[in-house]
Chain A
Amino acid sequence: ETGVTQSPTHLIKTRGQQVTLRCSSQSGHNTVSWYQQALGQGPQFIFQYYREEENGRGNFPPRFSGLQFPNYSSELNVNALELDDSALYLCASSRPREEAEAFFGQGTRLTVV
């Protein structure tokens, strides 16, 4: 177990709806990154949060947004869901100045119908 927990584990949404996914980082980790993993693919970087501010963003549209809270937990919000948003969404937390040593949660499986 990595100590990174995500909720919910699975959910189904309808195209056009909005979704919020949650992540609690491992104790002592103040950096949280979000990744999207389509079936059969490697994870793709969405964005990273450090000290409650966005600290880098991948090639995802603005309808993907996030938050980080003072306790370093984080949310990923996706508006206007599309069928192609169906994927496993992974949260990874890391210690200060060791950003690449990321510990992943088990992911949230989102299905858009």
Chain B
Amino acid sequence: GESVGLHLPTLSVQEGDNSIINCAYSNSASDYFIWYKQESGKGPQFIIDIRSNMDKRQGQRVTVLLNKTVKHLSLQIAATQPGDSAVYFCAETYGNNRLAFGKGNQVVVIP
């Protein structure tokens, strides 16, 4: 399938290592943030979300950190696996029922 990751920042990570993907959001009024994973030829897949009244949330192998002071969001993936290779997008909403996506980061897992 064709790549969705052309000209995107790329993170190359060794299998088994931890990955950190960063995102700067624009609207200080945003109250809900989501990380999506998009594999080539597929639609975005929900990974984890966090509300603005939290600063950390953990899922299975993933952790999202939110720093509202500097409007920064990060996604940490523990023990990265080959199936984690994809483009990762952060998205924000601010009460108007629409998702505003960031530019995306390509993650390449090296076996």
Binding site for B on A (CB under 8 A): 2, 4, 31, 33, 35, 37, 39-45, 48, 50, 55-56, 58, 88, 90, 92, 99-107
Contacts and interface: CB of A to CB of B under 8 A. Distances in A.
B99 A33 contact: yes
Interface string B76-111: 000000000000010101001111111110000000
B101 A40 contact: no
A40 B7 contact: yes
B6 A40 contact: yes
B96 A100 contact: no
Nearest to B103: A42
A39 B4 contact: yes
Nearest to A4: B43
B42 to A, nearest CB: 5
B16 interface: no
A41 B99 contact: no
Contacts of B97: 31, 33, 48, 50, 55-56, 99-100
Nearest to A58: B98
Contacts of B104: 40-42
A43 B44 contact: yes
Given A33-B98, A56-B98, A100-B34, A40 B8 contact: yes
A31 B93 CA distance: 15
A45 B99 contact: yes
Contacts of B59: none
Contact of A42 (B41, B89, B96, B98): B89
A106 B99 contact: no
B99 A102 contact: yes
Contacts of B44: 43, 90, 104
A44 B44 CA distance: 12
A43 B42 contact: no
B43 A100 contact: no
A100 B93 contact: yes
Given A100-B32, A102-B46, A45 B100 contact: yes
A44 B104 CA distance: 12
Nearest to B90: A42
